[in-house]
């Protein structure tokens, strides 16, 4: 149960976004994908899902679940929490068919995994930001995917909601490969098994404790040796700075 990208290059609107990206994430790993805006993090996730055509390379995956950014879901749609999760099964059920008992059991199991079982009948529009993020997580888990891809799951959430989600992601990663695109460098360094530094291509990869060379962070985020980023990460001062 792994996700592997081998020599992946991809364009968007005729502009190269990913260049010769190779990486592998195994079951049991919680990996953070880090890079500045425009580095290709979301494009990489969508390429892994087969939603972006590849100019070269290949993606190897036994199947991936996707947790999008919250603004991509229609929260004003009149649906219950359980129905929102069941919507993740539409391709399996069929567009115009009603979900059966097995589909509802799967949705309830997924909601229990994310600790929202007691809210399954509540309208999704009444949920807090953290609860909405857990609905999207359950919507991905209802398919029991071996790989889980998270796109900026902490955006706009307060610290308690972020910490609650981090606990869930860590638990989920015990059974599958989890890849999270995030801007929260400190949290990723503290909680993830491995960091992948991306700026159109993979600059570096490894546990946070091994990524102490400031040059790889400077190259990834296009910052100088006096950057506050390096200080925030408590990296050694580059020579000559």
Identify the pLDDT of residue 172.
Answer: 93
3-state SS assignment for residue 120: coil
Judge whether 176 and 148 are in contact, CB under 8 Å.
Answer: yes
Whether the pTM exceeds 0.75: the reply is yes
CA separation, residue 20 to residues 13, 51, 97, 232 (Å): 18, 18, 42, 30
pLDDT, tens only, 93-103: 656 667 668 88
Q: What domains are there in the chain, each with its CATH number?
A: 1-63+149-210 (3.40.50.300), 70-144 (no CATH)
Residues with Cβ within 8 Å of residue 55, at least 6 apart in sequence: 9, 10, 11, 16
3-state SS assignment for residue 7: strand
Nearest to 181 by CA among 32, 43, 36, 68: 32
Helix runs in 176-227, H state only: 185-191, 214-221
Which helix (H) or strand (E) segment holds residue 5: the answer is strand 2-12
Which helix (H) or strand (E) segment holds residue 177: the answer is strand 177-181
CA separation, residue 124 to residues 106, 108, 185 (Å): 18, 15, 30
Residue 14: band (very low, low, confident or very high) from pLDDT cuts 50, 70, 90: confident
**C-alpha angle 165-153-68 in degrees, rounded to nearest 5:** 125
- Beta-strand pair 2-12/15-26: antiparallel
pLDDT, tens only, 213-230: 999 999 999 999 889 888
Judge whether 80 and 116 are in contact, CB under 8 Å.
Answer: no
pLDDT, tens only, 89-125: 777 665 666 766 888 899 999 999 999 999 999 999 8
Give the integer Cα–Cα distance in Å for 200 and 193: 22
Token pair recorded at residue 227: 């950057």
């Amino acid at each position: 149960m792994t996700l592997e990208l081998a020599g992946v290059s991809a364009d968007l609107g005729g502009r190269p976004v990913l260049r010769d990206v190779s990486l592998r994430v195994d079951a049991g790993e919680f990996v953070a994908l880090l890079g500045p805006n425009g580095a290709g993090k979301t494009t990489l996730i969508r390429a892994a899902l087969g939603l972006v055509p590849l100019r070269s390379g290949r993606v190897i995956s036994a199947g991936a679940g996707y947790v999008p950014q919250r603004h991509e879901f229609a929260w004003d749609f009149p649906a219950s929490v359980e129905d929102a999760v069941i919507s993740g099964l539409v391709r399996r059920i069929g567009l115009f068919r009603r979900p059966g008992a097995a589909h509802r059991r799967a949705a309830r199991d997924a909601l229990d995994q994310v600790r929202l079982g007691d809210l399954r009948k509540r309208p999704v529009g009444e949920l807090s930001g953290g609860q909405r993020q857990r609905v999207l997580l359950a919507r991905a888990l209802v398919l029991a995917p071996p790989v889980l891809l998270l796109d900026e799951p902490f955006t706009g959430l307060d610290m308690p909601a972020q910490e609650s989600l981090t606990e869930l992601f860590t638990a989920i990663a015990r059974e599958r490969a989890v890849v999270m695109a995030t801007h929260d460098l400190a949290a990723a360094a503290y909680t993830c098994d491995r960091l992948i530094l991306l700026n159109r291509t993979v600059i570096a990869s490894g546990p946070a404790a091994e990524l102490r060379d400031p040059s790889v962070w400077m190259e990834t985020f296009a910052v100088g040796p006096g950057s506050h980023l390096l200080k925030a990460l408590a990296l050694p001062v580059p020579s000559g700075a």
